[in-house]
A and B are shown apart, each in its own frame.
Chain A
Amino acid sequence: MTALLNAGDGSRPLLMGNEAIARGALEAGMNLAAGYPGTPSSEILENLAKVAEARNLYVEWSTNEKVAMEVAAAASFAGLRSLCVMKQNGVNVASDFLLHLAGSGTRGGMVLVTCDDPGALSSVNEGESRHFARMIELPLLEPGDFQEAKDMTAWAFALSEELGTLVMLRSVTRMSHASGIVRLGKLPDRLPRAEFKSDGPMLDPDDGPVLSMPVAHKHGLQQGRIKKAREIFEASPFNTYEGPDRPELLVITSSACSLYSREAVHALGLGDRVGILKMGTTWPLPPNLLKTHLSRADRILVVEEVLPFLEDNVKVIAAEAAGEVGIKTFFGKSDGTIPAMGELSPDLVMEALCRILDVPLPAADLQYGKMAREAASLKAPQRGLAFCPGCPHRASYWNIRTALKLDDREGFVCGDIGCYTLDVFPGGAGTLKTLHSMGSGTGVASGFGKLGPFGLDRPILAVCGDSTFFHAAMPALVNAIHHRSNITVIVLDNSGTAMTGFQSHPGLCVNAMGQEMPDVDIAKICAAMGAKVEIRDPFDLAETQSTINRLMEDAEGVKVLILKQKCALSPEKRGIRQYNVHVDEALCIGEDCGCNRLCTRIFRCPALVWDKEKRRARVDEVLCAGCGVCAQICPQSAIRKEVA
Chain B
Amino acid sequence: MGTLQLPRDPYNIIITGVGGQGNVMASRVLSGMLVNKGLTITIGETFGASQRGGSVMSHIRVSATGTWSPQIPKGKADVIVALEPAEALRVLAAYGHPGVIVLANTRPVYPVGVITGELSYPALEEIRASLEQLSSRLWLIEATDAAIRLGSPILANIVMIGALAGSGILPLTPEDFRAVMAETLSGEKLEVNRKAFAAGMDMTKP
Give A contacts to B, CB under 8 Å: 2, 13-14, 39-40, 121-122, 145-147, 173-175, 177-181, 256, 259-260, 262-264, 267, 345-347, 350, 364-365, 368-369, 371-373, 375-388, 419, 422, 426-427, 499, 597, 600-602, 604-606, 608-610, 620, 622-623
- CB nearest neighbor in B for A369: B75
Are A40 and B41 in contact, CB atoms less than 8 angstroms apart? no
With contacts A174-B44, A256-B70, A372-B93 taken as known, whether A121 is within 8 angstroms of B49 at the C-beta atoms is: yes
- What's the Cα separation between A181 and B43 when bound, in Å? 10
9 residue pairs from A and B, CB less than 8 Å apart: A39-B49, A263-B73, A372-B134, A381-B111, A383-B55, A388-B53, A427-B112, A604-B116, A606-B110
- CB nearest neighbor in B for A370: B93
Shortest distance from the beta carbon of A627 to any chain B beta carbon, whole Å: 15
Are A368 and B43 in contact, CB atoms less than 8 angstroms apart? no
Complex contacts, A264 vs chain B, CB 8 Å = 73
Complex contacts, B92 vs chain A, CB 8 Å = 372, 375-376
Complex contacts, B35 vs chain A, CB 8 Å = 13-14, 181
Are B41 and A179 in contact, CB atoms less than 8 angstroms apart? yes
- What's the Cα separation between A620 and B97 when bound, in Å? 34
Which of B43, B53, B97, B120 has a CB less than 8 Å from the CB of A606? Answer: B53
Give B contacts to A, CB under 8 Å: 18, 20, 28, 31-32, 35, 40-50, 52-55, 67-75, 86-87, 89-90, 92-93, 96-98, 107, 109-122, 126-127, 130, 133-134, 144, 148, 153, 183
- What's the Cα separation between A40 and B24 when bound, in Å? 15
Shortest distance from the beta carbon of B49 to any chain A beta carbon, whole Å: 4
With contacts A256-B70, A260-B69, A263-B73 taken as known, whether A380 is within 8 angstroms of B116 at the C-beta atoms is: no
- What's the Cα separation between A422 and B51 when bound, in Å? 12
Complex contacts, A371 vs chain B, CB 8 Å = 133-134
- CB nearest neighbor in B for A623: B109
Are A174 and B115 in contact, CB atoms less than 8 angstroms apart? no
- CB nearest neighbor in B for A381: B119
- What's the Cα separation between A604 and B18 when bound, in Å? 17
Are B89 and A346 in contact, CB atoms less than 8 angstroms apart? no
How many contacts between A and B, using CB within 8 angstroms?
Answer: 193
Are B86 and A381 in contact, CB atoms less than 8 angstroms apart? yes
Shortest distance from the beta carbon of B58 to any chain A beta carbon, whole Å: 9
Complex contacts, A606 vs chain B, CB 8 Å = 53, 109-110, 112, 115
Are B111 and A376 in contact, CB atoms less than 8 angstroms apart? no
- What's the Cα separation between A267 and B61 when bound, in Å? 14
- CB nearest neighbor in A for B27: A179
Which of B32, B53, B67 has a CB less than 8 Å from the CB of A427? Answer: B53
Complex contacts, B45 vs chain A, CB 8 Å = 177-179
Complex contacts, A623 vs chain B, CB 8 Å = 109
Are A180 and B41 in contact, CB atoms less than 8 angstroms apart? yes
Shortest distance from the beta carbon of A150 to any chain B beta carbon, whole Å: 13
Which of B40, B113, B127 has a CB less than 8 Å from the CB of A384? Answer: B113
Shortest distance from the beta carbon of A238 to any chain B beta carbon, whole Å: 15
- CB nearest neighbor in A for B63: A181
Complex contacts, B115 vs chain A, CB 8 Å = 600, 604-606, 608-610
- CB nearest neighbor in A for B21: A622
Which of A178, A346, A375, A376 has a CB less than 8 Å from the CB of B133? Answer: A375
Are A376 and B93 in contact, CB atoms less than 8 angstroms apart? yes
Complex contacts, B113 vs chain A, CB 8 Å = 381-384, 426
Complex contacts, B117 vs chain A, CB 8 Å = 597, 600-601, 610
Complex contacts, B73 vs chain A, CB 8 Å = 263-264, 267, 345-347, 350
Shortest distance from the beta carbon of A171 to any chain B beta carbon, whole Å: 12
- CB nearest neighbor in A for B183: A2
- What's the Cα separation between A377 and B67 when bound, in Å? 33
Are B111 and A174 in contact, CB atoms less than 8 angstroms apart? no
Are A381 and B42 in contact, CB atoms less than 8 angstroms apart? no
- What's the Cα separation between A121 and B49 when bound, in Å? 7
- What's the Cα separation between A383 and B40 when bound, in Å? 33
Are B75 and A364 in contact, CB atoms less than 8 angstroms apart? yes
Are A419 and B52 in contact, CB atoms less than 8 angstroms apart? yes
Are A386 and B112 in contact, CB atoms less than 8 angstroms apart? yes
Are B54 and A259 in contact, CB atoms less than 8 angstroms apart? no
Are B87 and A380 in contact, CB atoms less than 8 angstroms apart? yes
Complex contacts, A601 vs chain B, CB 8 Å = 116-117
Are A346 and B69 in contact, CB atoms less than 8 angstroms apart? yes
- What's the Cα separation between A606 and B45 when bound, in Å? 23
With A383-B18, A604-B112 already in contact, 14 other A-B pairs whose C-beta atoms are closer than 8 Å: A13-B35, A14-B32, A256-B69, A345-B69, A345-B71, A345-B73, A346-B69, A350-B73, A375-B93, A379-B130, A383-B53, A384-B113, A385-B53, A387-B53
Complex contacts, A605 vs chain B, CB 8 Å = 115
- What's the Cα separation between A263 and B10 when bound, in Å? 10
Complex contacts, B32 vs chain A, CB 8 Å = 14
